Amino acid sequence: MADAQAREKILGAFLTLLAEKRFERIELSEVAQLANVSLADLRGEFGSTFDMVAAFFRETDKKVLSGGEQLKLDPELGDVSARDRLFEVLMRRFEALAPYREAIRSLYKSARTSPQLAMGLNKLAVRSQQWMLSSAGVGSSGLIGGMRAQALAGFFARATQTWLDDDDPGLARTMAALDRQLETAERLAGFAREMCRFVPGCRPRRRANRDEAFPEDPNAPVAV
């Protein structure tokens, strides 16, 4: 329990600093001082400030997933499309991220000028979106699952750009942006299925709903 409390204090201190300054300017000693822990204790919990970012992704995933079981088990939602389920899950993610909006804004700014950070964040984002897909009842394993997660990370990142400046308590602009992104994902998935007909060895699967793979977007921005 003591270790869990220490990690929570350290992560909270890091996010506070991230809201105030760029990621690359945060010193480990600053985090330790704000968290009121020694550098030795800080090293025992985290190997770097990027490890703290990874922990933030994991904690966000856990918050979303802890509310996701109700969505999957609710019999009234049994016939909801994959797109609509994903919409619910990703809006829940925005709710979990709400207290850390300025920290996320800061992280985005740093990622735009650091390809290494951007690639690292993309890897974390893809992993998180695999969990979001699973929460929505959409396949996330194997090559196709990885493609879905990569594409969804990009689509969510674009919606996040709107969310960062959406001061409406109801997040109307964010919901509209996310809906547009998921519509684009669905449309591109349909195009990919058609193109698959002309590729030897590619066999598109038939489906009764919208649980198709999203094509990979090599220029996808960073997501959280």
Instruction: Out of 26-30, 133-137, 158-162, pick the least confident.
Output: 133-137
Q: What is the pLDDT of residue 77?
A: 52
Q: Is 210 in contact with 83 (CB distance < 8 Å)? A: yes
Q: What is the pLDDT of residue 140?
A: 84
Task: Report which listed range, 5-9, 74-78, 117-121, 209-213, is most confident.
Answer: 117-121
Side chain identity, residue 147: M
Q: What is the pLDDT of residue 195?
A: 39
Quick check: pTM over 0.75? yes
Q: What's the chain's average pLDDT?
A: 84
Q: Is 42 in contact with 30 (CB distance < 8 Å)? A: no
Residue pLDDT, tens place only, 138-177: 888 888 888 889 999 999 999 999 999 999 999 999 999 9
Instruction: Give phi and psi for 171, each to the nearest 5.
Output: 55, 45
What average pLDDT does this structure show over 77-90? 82
Q: What is the pLDDT of residue 147?
A: 87
Domains in the chain and their CATH numbers? 1-47 (1.10.10), 53-224 (1.10.357)
Question: What is the number of other CB atoms lying within 10 angstroms of the CB of residue 217?
Answer: 19
Give me the half-sphere count of Cα atoms (radius 13 Å) on the Cβ side of residue 18: 25
Q: Is 91 in contact with 178 (CB distance < 8 Å)? A: yes
Q: Which residue stretches of the chain are H helix?
A: 2-20, 28-35, 39-45, 49-73, 82-97, 101-113, 115-135, 142-163, 172-196
Q: What is the pLDDT of residue 197?
A: 46
Q: Is 134 in contact with 140 (CB distance < 8 Å)? A: yes
CA pair distance 14, 11, nearest whole angstrom: 5
Instruction: Out of 70-74, 93-97, 136-140, pick the least confident.
Output: 70-74
Q: What is the pLDDT of residue 68?
A: 59
Q: What is the pLDDT of residue 106?
A: 97
Phi-psi region at 141: left, alpha or beta (left = phi > 0; alpha = psi -120 to 50): beta
